């Protein structure tokens, strides 16, 4: 349907030859030069949970002044910047609570979403308390959710984003591996469970990347950027489990945002 709209609205006698060879991922419905605003959507990895220095507005969302969207906006000075990402947001929350920030003037959209939808918080708890068998069962259920309902829900979300921001470049960022194997941790999960969790992150990223590509969006993989800086590494950029700040556990620190996520976004935006 999108390609037929493009062909009807964009092709003229002068551009007919170019439009005839333009695929759905490369054709545009509006000139990008007219769209200069930046909107940051998504979950806690985009809002900056774990990075500290949370903004006074929207406290429940734990939006950090050190989150990669804020850092990118400070470096590039877009015409407008809307920071809509919120702690705990899944696909439905992004759809119903965040897309109002988008418009035809939006030139860049970034987001991370999918981790909450697959129940990763519950998976991590099961892996910590349920042993290897319980952990692998929980991860198997999470993969089924990723391949089924999450993939379908991402399609709904990505379609809605494109409809509201037809000229925007959309960058969907993935999630880093949680654990550095054979690292400095002596307590907690064994390396077998840590490896299984990292594999599940890879599976989640693969599902997100496929759906993003199907909609002509850019997927930005951050696993290489975080390599050597996972939990149990000598210089981690992710917070380990903290019973006094449980919400921030397994989230990027300020260096994880500035040295992990930000350079990856800057390379593709």
Tokens 């469970």 belong to: 193
Q: What angle do CA 99, 159, 90 make, to 5 degrees?
A: 55
In angstroms, the CA 217 to CA 235 distance is 32
Q: How far apart are CA 49 and CA 238, in angstroms?
A: 11
**Residue with structure tokens 């970034």?**
110
pLDDT at 133 over 60: yes
pLDDT value of residue 34: 60
**DSSP letter string, 213-241:** HHTTPEEE--HHHHTT-SBTSSS-SB---
pLDDT digits (tens, 9 = 90+) for 145-176: 999 999 999 999 999 999 999 999 999 999 99
205 phi/psi in degrees, rounded to 5: -60, -40
Mean pLDDT, range 242-248, rounded to an integer: 84
pLDDT higher than 80, residue 8: no
Q: What is the mean pLDDT of the chain?
A: 88
| Model pLDDT for residues 182-234, shown as the tens digit of each residue | 988 888 788 899 999 999 999 999 999 999 999 999 999 999 999 999 999 99
Q: Please give the biggest Cα pair distance in the chain.
A: 69
Q: Which residues are catalytic?
A: 44, 251
The CATH-assigned architecture of domain 32-268 is 3-Layer(aba) Sandwich (3.40)
pLDDT grade for 10, boundaries at 50, 70 and 90:
very low
The domain ranges of the chain are 1-30, 32-268
- pTM of the predicted protein model: 0.85
Query: Which contiguous run of DSSP H or E holds residue 170?
Result: strand 169-173
Q: Is the pLDDT of residue 45 over 60?
A: yes
Output 23 or 147, whichever has higher pLDDT: 147
pLDDT digits 0-9 by tens, 103-132: 999 999 999 999 999 988 889 888 888 778
Distance CA 205, CA 218 (A): 13
Instruction: Choose the weakest-confidence range: 16-30, 70-84, 190-204.
Output: 16-30
What contacts 265, CB < 8 A, 6 or more positions away? 68, 72, 110, 171, 173, 220
Radius of gyration of the chain (CA): 19
Q: Which residues pair with 41 in a beta bridge?
A: none
Q: Cα separation of 112 and 170, whole Å?
A: 11
pLDDT of residue 132: 84
């Amino acid at each position: 349907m999108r390609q037929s709209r493009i062909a009807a609205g964009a092709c003229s006698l002068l551009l007919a030859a170019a439009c005839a060879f333009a695929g759905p991922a490369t054709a545009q419905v509006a000139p990008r030069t007219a769209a200069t605003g930046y909107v940051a959507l998504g979950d806690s990895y985009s809002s900056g949970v774990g990075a500290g220095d949370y903004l006074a507005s929207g406290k429940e969302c734990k939006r950090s002044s050190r989150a990669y969207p804020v850092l990118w906006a400070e470096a590039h000075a877009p015409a407008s910047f809307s920071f809509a990402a919120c702690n705990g947001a899944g696909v439905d929350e992004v759809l119903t609570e965040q897309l109002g920030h988008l418009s035809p003037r939006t030139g860049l959209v970034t987001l991370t979403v999918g981790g909450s939808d697959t129940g990763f918080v519950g998976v991590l708890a099961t892996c910590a308390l349920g042993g290897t068998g319980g952990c692998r069962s929980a991860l198997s259920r999470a993969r089924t959710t990723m391949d089924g309902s999450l993939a379908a829900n991402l399609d709904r979300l990505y379609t809605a984003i494109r409809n509201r921001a037809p000229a925007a470049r959309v960058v969907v960022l993935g999630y880093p591996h949680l654990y550095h194997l054979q690292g400095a941790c002596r307590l907690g999960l064994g390396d077998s469970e840590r490896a299984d969790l990292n594999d599940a992150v890879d599976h989640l990223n693969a599902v997100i990347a496929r759906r993003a590509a199907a909609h002509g969006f850019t997927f930005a993989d951050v696993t290489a950027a975080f390599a050597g800086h996972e939990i149990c590494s000598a210089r981690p950029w992710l917070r380990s489990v903290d019973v006094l700040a449980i919400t921030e556990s397994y989230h990027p620190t300020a260096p994880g945002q500035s040295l992990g996520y930000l350079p990856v976004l800057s390379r593709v935006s």
